[in-house]
Amino acid sequence: MHEELMSQLSDAADGFIVPLRLNDGFDQLALDELCGTIDRLGRQWRTAEVIPKSAALILSELYPAISACAELHEGEERQRMIEAAVRVGERVTYALDPAGEPEL
């Protein structure tokens, strides 16, 4: 089960971030999938004492990776990426905070 969940998270993260890094464009559906995956895992983790280190590593890299890609763009595309980084960051915080509420 653990490996399956980590695979889902890794695939969702790569599905959004890899195209950004390769300058292949912003994929809204991939962003929605990533956020949905974080939300699903968050429902399980919110009451857990610990989460897998592999998940923590992926989650900790999301915001900086998206922000770094935003720095390579200008105008509307840059703003979309900054907003995506914030959206993902909020979901990560909510996924790990037992008392938190999502900022949707």
pLDDT at 6: 85
What is the residue-level pLDDT of the chain in tens, covering all 104 positions?
A: 578 888 999 999 999 999 999 989 899 999 999 999 999 999 888 888 889 999 999 999 999 999 999 998 899 999 999 999 999 999 999 998 877 655 55
pLDDT at 49: 86
Residue 49 gets which letter from DSSP?
Answer: S
Q: Give the whole-angstrom CA distance, residue 59 versus residue 31.
A: 14
Polymer length in residues for the chain? 104
